[in-house]
Chain A
Amino acid sequence: QTVVTQEPSFSVSPGGTVTLTCGLTSDSVSTSYYPFWCQQTPGQAPRTLIYNTNTRSSGVPDRFSGSILGNKAALTITGAQADDESDYYCALYLGSGISVFGGGTKLTVL
């Protein structure tokens, strides 16, 4: 069974830069998996940040960027702000219409 992996937690200082990753237990992540990233704060619906590896969704500030780093997809937040403290989820498209989310990364800004 294919599992999408994410760091369970991460912390960053205000103004700092952090890179969250999204991997696969069975393969290297490439653009062919159409990496997708969303942000969720407690009690709210998720909000899409990045799709197709590096395309920002409407209204998403450019301090959020997506890429492939090595064998994983990556979400980089540059100049972290207090309200970036959220859960971040990636999803990968596995083909045949199937997508899978990772377990999410809880980001703390302190």
Chain B
Amino acid sequence: EVQLVESGGGLVQPGGSLRLSCAASGFTFSRSSMHWVRQAPGKGLVWVSRINTDGSTSYADSVKGRFTISRDNAKNTLYLQMNSLRAEDTAVYYCVTDASVGGYWGQGTLVTVSS
């Protein structure tokens, strides 16, 4: 059974940093591209970032230069380093496996950016 467990969310002040983690199990993590998707309260889904199996990365324009996606295949863990956080980054952040392995979603972790 595929499991994705996000952690690391919380309350942070504008301009602050946070690192999210996603622990993966039940599939061959190293062979799957992985994504982060976020959802602001009461709003729709927004794709944030992708990391491929070779470590290459892509970002939405809204987070480019502020967020960094990475992975540790030895630990089966996906990360999202978030710097220079803004109020508009407040959202539930989901990690998602690539569609080619079924597009499984974690339960999400809430990030709140507020003073």
Contact = CB atoms under 8 A, between A and B. Distances in A.
A103 B44 contact: yes
State the majority secondary structure of interface residues on B. mixed
Q: Which range holds the interface residue count of chain B?
A: 20 to 34
A100 B47 contact: yes
Contacts of B107: 45
A99 B37 CA distance: 10
A97 to B, nearest CB: 3
Contacts of B108: 45
Interface of A: 34, 36, 38, 40, 45-48, 51-52, 57-58, 87, 89, 91, 96-104
Contacts of B45: 38, 40, 46, 89, 91, 101, 104
Contacts of B44: 87, 89, 101-104
